[in-house]
């Protein structure tokens, strides 16, 4: 039996998670996973379903069986203070909204900061995005079962977000013929119908929503955050051992870490790790042989929540990327096995649907689609190639990556257009070399040194101590690559 447990906004307390995991262990569950909507998923053996139901009822744990799942509320809360800092949308504002939701949504709701690209903006049906005006929100409606998005013409105040969400959902579900699975759904009609029945504190937007350029921050491993660390844990097979997570909960409870975070990239984030407690985390990671230094081109993928087929295809493509030494920074990829699933990615590998279940695997074909500006939040998709054999997908993706970087280079040149041209130098210009961390792309510049690690300006990279580590992700000195500074315009 497939079980889903929603964590509102991707937040869960260690105590609550421990209760869930202890029930899972008692019912023979060895591993759990994180879904794309930041929820917890597990497979409970059929012989233990009655016990699972009983134990969850005793602990007041709400869960959903396959086919009954209600969507989790997705938020960029996990990114707060690590990927977003200079913003009015603090953790307390997220919680105020979550606590105000006095109903269980049947449609997907996303609550996101506009300055981040870690959490998708428009994968919900009711998408709230923080505006530049303090406590006012942009609202984007993606009509259910369509890709059509309508921008609400007014900003809405924080205190009304929960109630407006409830009222809009009611309108969408009451008139399914007009608003549900209708590619011609009229957003203006929805707005007029709403205003005829409801009110809220709102204002006219001063500017249109300006989405940030997409990049996926390196969300794995130990990373410094002020005087603390945060830890991102990703699993190549997307499975987290129950026993490992139980130890994680114990450490959190022992060291007074009050929250854990699940992400749309199927990973788990722990914030607020004290320097003196890092050894506890190193030990538990070592105990279960948890690797926290995966390559960046393996982390920027979205795969469906069920079945191994998508993961198998992902591994097949990554092996090809590794062999060809392909750079994918600034891109994200998604594998769509089922037509009904909605995927987030700059590039989508979509399996062609086959009504004959006995058709040979060798005859399967895939379509490759991409966003025209390679920003996965744009929603529009263009077919790059269709009817591609599995073994040829990697070749076409390499060409798409090349197209992306060529497009980025042209954009960089165009942005410089109109500026006063610089006269050519009389003598040849020397090439400046810097060293770049291959994991998080942090730069070590010999002219600047590294004040955080007490490295004086002017210290050559070769003179750094052998124990030197990246100030952002703690990667070792050996993980820095020498590159021309002029080549960093795309990488950074």
88 with 198, same domain? yes
Residue 6 falls within a domain, yes or no? no
Residue 428 has pLDDT above 50, yes or no: no
Final residue belonging to a domain, choices 203, 237, 262: 203
How confident is the model at residue 426, as a pLDDT? Answer: 37
365 with 440, same domain? no
406 with 448, same domain? no
Number of separate domains in the chain: 3
Whether residue 446 contacts residue 460, with contact meaning beta carbons closer than 8 Å, is answered with yes
474 with 438, same domain? yes
Give the helix/strand (H/E) hosting 320. Answer: helix 309-324
Interval 127-149 mean pLDDT: 95
> Distance between CA atoms of 15 and 362, rounded to whole angstroms?
48
Residue 104 has pLDDT above 90, yes or no: yes
135 with 169, same domain? yes
Residue 28 falls within a domain, yes or no? no
Whether residue 293 contacts residue 220, with contact meaning beta carbons closer than 8 Å, is answered with yes
Tokens of 72: 């989790």
How confident is the model at residue 412, as a pLDDT? Answer: 56
> Distance between CA atoms of 33 and 172, rounded to whole angstroms?
31
455 with 380, same domain? no
Residue 492 has pLDDT above 50, yes or no: no
**pLDDT tier for residue 486 given thresholds of 50, 70 and 90:** low
Residue 441 has pLDDT above 80, yes or no: no
Residue 32 has pLDDT above 70, yes or no: yes
139 with 174, same domain? yes
3-state secondary structure of 376: helix
360 with 448, same domain? no
Residue 484 has pLDDT above 50, yes or no: yes
480: CATH: 2.20.28.10
Residue 329 falls within a domain, yes or no? yes
Residue 37 falls within a domain, yes or no? no
Interval 320-327 mean pLDDT: 93
40-43 vs 260-262, strand pairing mode:
unpaired
- Angle of helix 242-254 relative to helix 278-287, nearest 10 degrees? 170
Residue 29 falls within a domain, yes or no? no
> Distance between CA atoms of 404 and 300, rounded to whole angstroms?
15
Across the chain, mean pLDDT equals: 89
Final residue belonging to a domain, choices 155, 175, 203: 203
Residue 198's domain comprises 84-203
Final residue belonging to a domain, choices 203, 229, 251: 203
Q: Select from 363, 370, 359, 362 the least CA-distant residue to 336.
A: 370
395 with 438, same domain? no
442-459 pLDDT, tens per residue? 888 888 888 778 888 888
Residue 57 falls within a domain, yes or no? no
Residue 134 falls within a domain, yes or no? yes
Tokens of 287: 């105990």
How confident is the model at residue 422, as a pLDDT? Answer: 41
Residue 41 has pLDDT above 80, yes or no: yes
361 with 406, same domain? yes
DSSP annotation of 213: P
DSSP annotation of 318: H
> Distance between CA atoms of 268 and 270, rounded to whole angstroms?
7
347: CATH: 3.30.413.10
Residue 458 falls within a domain, yes or no? yes
157-198 pLDDT, tens per residue? 999 999 999 999 999 999 999 999 898 999 999 999 999 999
374 with 453, same domain? no
442 with 389, same domain? no
């Amino acid at each position: 039996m497939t079980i889903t447990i929603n964590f509102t906004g991707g937040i869960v307390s260690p105590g609550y998670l421990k209760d869930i995991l202890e029930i899972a262990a008692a019912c023979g569950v060895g591993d759990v996973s994180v879904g794309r909507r930041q929820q917890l998923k597990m497979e409970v053996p059929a012989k233990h379903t009655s016990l699972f139901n009983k134990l969850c009822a005793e602990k007041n744990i709400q869960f959903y069986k396959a086919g009954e799942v209600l969507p989790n509320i997705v938020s960029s809360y996990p990114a707060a203070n690590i990927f977003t800092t200079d913003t009015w949308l603090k953790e307390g504002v997220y919680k105020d909204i979550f606590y105000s939701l006095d109903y269980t949504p049947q449609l997907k709701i996303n609550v996101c900061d506009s300055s981040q690209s870690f959490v998708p903006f428009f994968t919900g049906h009711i998408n709230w995005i923080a505006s530049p005006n303090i406590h006012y929100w942009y609202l984007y409606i993606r009509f259910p079962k369509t890709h059509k998005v309508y921008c609400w013409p007014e900003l809405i105040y924080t205190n009304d977000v929960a109630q407006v969400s409830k009222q809009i959902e009611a309108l969408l579900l009451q008139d399914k013929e007009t608003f549900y699975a209708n590619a011609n759904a009229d957003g203006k009609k929805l707005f007029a119908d709403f205003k005829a029945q409801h009110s809220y504190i709102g204002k006219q937007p001063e500017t249109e929503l300006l989405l940030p350029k997409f990049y996926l921050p390196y969300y794995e491993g130990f990373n410094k955050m002020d005087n603390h660390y945060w830890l991102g844990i990703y699993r190549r097979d997307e499975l987290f051992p129950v026993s490992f997570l139980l130890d994680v909960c114990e450490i959190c409870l022992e060291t007074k870490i009050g929250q854990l975070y699940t992400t749309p990239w199927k990973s788990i984030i722990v914030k607020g790790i004290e320097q003196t407690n890092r050894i506890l985390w190193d030990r538990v990671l070592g105990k279960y042989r948890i690797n926290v230094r995966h390559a960046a081109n393996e982390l920027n993928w979205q795969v469906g929540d069920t079945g191994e087929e998508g993961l198998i295809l992902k591994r097949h493509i990554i092996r090809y990327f590794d062999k060809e030494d392909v750079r994918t920074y600034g891109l994200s990829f998604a594998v769509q096995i089922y037509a009904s699933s909605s995927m987030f990615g700059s590039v989508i590998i979509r399996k062609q649907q086959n009504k004959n279940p006995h058709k040979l695997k060798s005859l399967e074909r895939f379509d490759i689609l991409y966003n025209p500006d390679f920003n996965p939040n744009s929603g529009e998709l263009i077919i790059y190639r269709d009817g591609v054999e599995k073994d040829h997908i990697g070749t076409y993706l390499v060409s798409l990556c090349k197209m992306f970087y060529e497009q980025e280079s042209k954009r960089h040149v165009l942005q410089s257009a109109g500026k006063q041209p610089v006269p050519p130098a009389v003598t040849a210009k020397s090439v400046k070399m810097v060293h770049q961390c291959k994991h998080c792309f942090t730069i070590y510049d010999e002219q600047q040194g590294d004040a955080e690690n007490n490295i004086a300006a002017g210290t050559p990279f070769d003179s750094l101590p052998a124990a030197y580590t990246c100030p952002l992700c703690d990667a070792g000195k050996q993980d820095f690559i020498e590159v021309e500074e002029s080549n960093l315009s795309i990488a950074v």
